[in-house]
């Protein structure tokens, strides 16, 4: 009897990529908005590693499958037997893999059997159709869009949701090139995260056809589609922005620094931007993250359209992923920090050059505050507070937090302190050059670091540096980092001064002016300090802060979200109506998780009623994560 187990190299996939590995993926896809379905054909070219191979095992979670065929040398289709395996105990998290039986060719006495195993490569064709249970796709009705004229669709494949689109080796250990053809009826656009090679109108089908190529190998979690009424604006020669109709000009102004970020990153890493085109796509509010680094088509939340470029560090982060994550990729989700910690480090290097050292330091303080909050939320003994979490049998999204970002960032700052900024910059460049197009774990960076130090310094001096670094402790230890990084900024004194003015009710008439002139990051430090020290603020002080600073009218959503968290933690139910309006129009998990957690603690029943009535507007990822919070905190 067939028994499937998760892959030992990546426990979140069932695919047997050590025996047969996908190299090229061709997709021909269309959209059926009425039935909320994406359908088409996926043709995959595989390299055979094990000549005794019996099955091809592909990850799958939801799509309907038909017509599984081998394509022979004459481009003829040869039917293959297959099953959707639903006996695995972790199917709710990891899905029900598609098992394609190659031995069925032999059992049918098919002449192709001998041919398959005399070759190094084979091509398999599969027809698929998604349905409403496929959580990697969200469909929005026309009423949920900006113009309210046409429906909208977008995908989110990180971490393990590409398998909800079509059968694939859904693991970052495998990187493939893609050719994609999309079809849709005008005036809608249907985009893929790659380079547009051609487009035309097919008069027979009355469809608009786009043909894309992604010739740099990417992992499956970077596959990205979007369909809807979209418009485009140019930012620079290689940068642009897609938005819903009516927002492109505004977004182009907001993200004007995209080209600068790319140039700074190229210079820091001494490595060119290899993806040629950098386009940003501003999604509707239900997108659950700040950004998603899909190559050639970075997805971002509309919450970034603050009007003053104060949230542009998110663009810096996603651009940095072009090297750390997309070019050099974590080989499994246990090594997620190898993507996010490195990218957070790069983001702040870019901001140091673009916005100044003090602002970069302040971002580190904001990040450290979010790390403290995340560790307290999970508990210091939780695997999710380690840089090497255990995701056995669960969806890695369940452990999503700032820990891999900020704890990973602090580890890299620690490593940089040991050798100095200039030397560490060289190490980063050598790391990218050595492992580009590959999937790695943290020990690969360790080898580059140690090789550099041994070559740079004499034996004794090299040992003095390397012997004090406990790599395993940093990576595997749960809870707070044992080595406490000190982040200081001149802005913290300004924050403390304004807080003391409110506590002492002393000379607060200029508070509004001071607060208004601050950068968003300074405002966040101010509010986070209040949140962490709520025992020092009675309700009258909180109301005075609200009155003087006009926090409900504040245009920046990061600021609003922390303010609402403060009022919930303080039990100020008079702010609930504003909070409900905010939660109805914001789907970013960064806002949803802390606000729902605080509301649940204050008033479980009303929070649950509101969530049940409004959860349809959230992305499936967000719905599941917030529902899990209700289940775990149920009284």
Q: Once rounded to an integer, what is the mean pLDDT over residues 558-587?
A: 95
What pLDDT does residue 110 have? Answer: 67
How many whole angstroms separate alpha carbon 78 and alpha carbon 55? 16
What pLDDT does residue 117 have? Answer: 67
Backbone angles phi, psi at 452, to 5 degrees: -65, -50
| pLDDT classification of 350: cutoffs 50, 70, 90 | very high
What pLDDT does residue 95 have? Answer: 97
Among candidates 228, 92, 230, 220, which has minimal Cα distance to 156?
220
Q: Is the distance from CB of 547 to CB of 583 less than 8 angstroms?
A: no
Q: Which two tokens stand for residue 403?
A: 């820990």
What pLDDT does residue 108 have? Answer: 67
Backbone angles phi, psi at 538, to 5 degrees: -80, 170
**55-97: per-residue pLDDT in tens?**
999 999 999 999 999 998 888 899 999 999 999 999 999 999 9
**Is pLDDT of 629 > 70?**
yes
Handedness of CA 326, 592, 397, 282 (dihedral sign): negative
How many CA atoms are closer than 13 Å to the CA of 114, on its beta-carbon side?
2
What pLDDT does residue 50 have? Answer: 92
Q: Once rounded to an integer, what is the mean pLDDT over residues 265-272?
A: 98
What pLDDT does residue 91 have? Answer: 94
Give the chain's end-to-end CA distance (angstroms, integer). 44
Global confidence as pTM: 0.96
Question: Which stretch of 98-112, 201-215, 269-283 has the lowest confidence by average pLDDT?
Answer: 98-112
Among candidates 135, 104, 278, which has minimal Cα distance to 193?
278
What pLDDT does residue 553 have? Answer: 77
What pLDDT does residue 1 have? Answer: 52
Active site residue 244: no
Q: Burial level of 343, CB count in 10 A (0-12/13-18/19+)?
A: buried
Q: How far is CA 605 from the centre of its chain?
A: 31
What pLDDT does residue 251 have? Answer: 97
DSSP alpha helices (H): ranges in 62-145?
A: 91-94, 103-107, 112-116
Q: Which of 150, 405, 591, 618 is catalytic?
A: 405
Active site residue 232: no
Determine what percent of the chain is predicted with pLDDT higher than 90.
84
How many CA atoms are closer than 13 Å to the CA of 417, on its beta-carbon side?
13
What is Dmax (Cα atoms) for the chain? 91
Q: Is the distance from CB of 625 to CB of 398 less than 8 angstroms?
A: yes
How many whole angstroms separate alpha carbon 393 and alpha carbon 629? 19
Q: How far is CA 79 from the centre of its chain?
A: 37
Q: Once rounded to an integer, what is the mean pLDDT over residues 592-612?
A: 97
What pLDDT does residue 508 have? Answer: 81
What pLDDT does residue 109 have? Answer: 62
| pLDDT classification of 115: cutoffs 50, 70, 90 | low
Q: Once rounded to an integer, what is the mean pLDDT over residues 460-476?
A: 96
Question: Which stretch of 99-103, 109-113, 131-135, 405-409 has the lowest confidence by average pLDDT?
Answer: 109-113
Rg (alpha carbons) of the chain, rounded to whole number = 25
Q: Is the distance from CB of 40 to CB of 64 less than 8 angstroms?
A: no
Question: Which stretch of 26-40, 104-118, 227-241, 411-425 has the lowest confidence by average pLDDT?
Answer: 104-118
Q: Once rounded to an integer, what is the mean pLDDT over residues 160-180?
A: 98
What pLDDT does residue 112 have? Answer: 67
Q: Which two tokens stand for residue 56?
A: 């091809």
Q: Which two tokens stand for residue 52?
A: 């005794």
> Cα dihedral angle (434, 437, 440, 442), rounded to 10 degrees?
50
**Is pLDDT of 146 > 60?**
yes
**Is pLDDT of 486 > 80?**
yes
Q: Which of 158, 229, 318, 528 is catalytic?
A: 318
How many whole angstroms separate alpha carbon 140 and alpha carbon 162? 19
Backbone angles phi, psi at 5, to 5 degrees: -130, 155
**224-246: per-residue pLDDT in tens?**
999 999 999 999 999 999 999 99
**421-462: per-residue pLDDT in tens?**
999 999 999 999 999 999 999 999 999 999 999 999 988 999
For tokens 């589609």, the residue is 225
Q: Is the distance from CB of 310 to CB of 519 less than 8 angstroms?
A: yes
Query: Mean pLDDT, the chain, as a whole number?
Result: 94
What pLDDT does residue 365 have? Answer: 93
3-class secondary structure, 168: strand
What pLDDT does residue 335 have? Answer: 98
Determine what percent of the chain is predicted with pLDDT higher than 70.
98
């Amino acid at each position: 009897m067939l028994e499937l187990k998760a892959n030992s190299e990546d426990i979140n996939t069932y695919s047997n990529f050590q025996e047969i590995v996908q190299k090229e993926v061709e997709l021909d896809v269309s959209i059926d908005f009425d039935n909320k379905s994406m359908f088409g054909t996926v043709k995959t070219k595989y390299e055979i590693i094990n000549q005794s191979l019996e099955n091809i095992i592909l990850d799958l979670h939801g799509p309907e499958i038909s017509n599984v065929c081998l394509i022979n040398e004459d481009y003829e289709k040869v039917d293959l037997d297959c099953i959707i395996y639903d006996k695995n105990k972790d199917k709710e998290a990891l899905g029900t893999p598609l098992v394609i039986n190659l031995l069925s060719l032999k059992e049918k006495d098919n002449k192709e059997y001998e041919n398959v195993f005399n070759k190094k490569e084979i091509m398999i064709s599969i027809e698929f159709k998604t349905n409403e249970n496929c959580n990697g796709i969200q469909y929005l009705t026309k009423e949920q869009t900006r113009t309210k004229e046409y429906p909208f669709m977008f995908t989110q494949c990180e971490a393990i949701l590409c398998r909800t689109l079509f059968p694939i080796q859904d693991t970052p250990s495998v990187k493939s090139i893609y050719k994609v053809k999309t079809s849709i009826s005008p005036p809608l656009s249907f985009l893929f995260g790659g380079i547009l090679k051609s487009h035309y109108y097919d008069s027979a089908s009355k469809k608009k056809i786009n043909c894309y190529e992604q010739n740099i190998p990417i992992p499956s979690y970077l596959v990205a589609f979007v369909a809807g009424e979209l418009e485009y604006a140019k930012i620079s020669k290689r940068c642009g922005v897609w938005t819903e109709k009516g927002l492109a000009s505004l977004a182009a102004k907001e993200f004007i620094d995209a080209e600068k970020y790319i140039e700074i990153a190229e210079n820091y890493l001494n490595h060119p931007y290899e993806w040629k085109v950098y386009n940003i796509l501003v999604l509707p509010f239900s997108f659950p993250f700040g950004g998603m680094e899909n190559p050639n088509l970075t997805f971002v939340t509309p919450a970034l359209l603050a009007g003053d470029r104060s949230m542009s560090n998110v663009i810096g982060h996603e651009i940095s992923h072009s090297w750390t994550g997309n070019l050099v990729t974590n080989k499994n989700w246990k090594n997620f920090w190898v993507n996010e910690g490195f990218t957070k480090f790069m983001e702040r290097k870019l901001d140091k050059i673009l916005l100044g050292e003090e602002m970069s330091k302040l971002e580190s303080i904001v990040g450290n505050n979010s790390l403290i909050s995340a560790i307290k939320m999970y508990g210091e003994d939780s695997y999710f507070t380690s840089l090497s979490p255990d995701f056995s049998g669960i969806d890695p999204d369940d452990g999503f937090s700032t820990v891999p970002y900020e704890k990973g960032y602090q580890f890299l700052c620690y490593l940089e302190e040991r050798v100095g900024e200039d030397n560490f910059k060289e190490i980063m460049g050598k790391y990218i050059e050595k492992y580009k197009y590959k999937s790695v774990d943290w020990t690969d960076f360790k080898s580059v670091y140690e090789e550099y130090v041994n070559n740079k310094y004499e034996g004794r001096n090299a040992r003095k540096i390397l012997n004090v670094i406990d790599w395993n402790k940093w990576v595997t230890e749960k809870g707070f980092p044992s080595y406490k990084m000190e982040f200081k900024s001149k802005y913290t004194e300004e924050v403390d001064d304004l807080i003391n003015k409110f506590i002492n009710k002393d000379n607060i008439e200029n508070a509004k002016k001071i607060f208004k002139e601050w950068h968003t990051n300074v405002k966040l430090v101010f509010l986070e300090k209040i949140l962490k020290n709520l025992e020092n603020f009675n309700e009258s002080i909180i109301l005075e802060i609200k009155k003087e600073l006009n926090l409900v009218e504040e245009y920046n959503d990061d600021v609003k979200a922390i303010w609402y968290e403060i009022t919930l933690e303080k039990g100020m139910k008079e702010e609930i109506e504003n909070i409900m309006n905010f939660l109805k129009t914001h789907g970013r998990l960064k806002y949803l998780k802390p606000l729902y957690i605080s509301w649940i603690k204050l008033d479980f029943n009303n929070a649950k009623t509101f969530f049940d009535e409004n959860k349809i507007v959230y992305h499936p990822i967000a719905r599941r994560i917030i529902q899990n919070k209700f289940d775990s905190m149920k009284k």
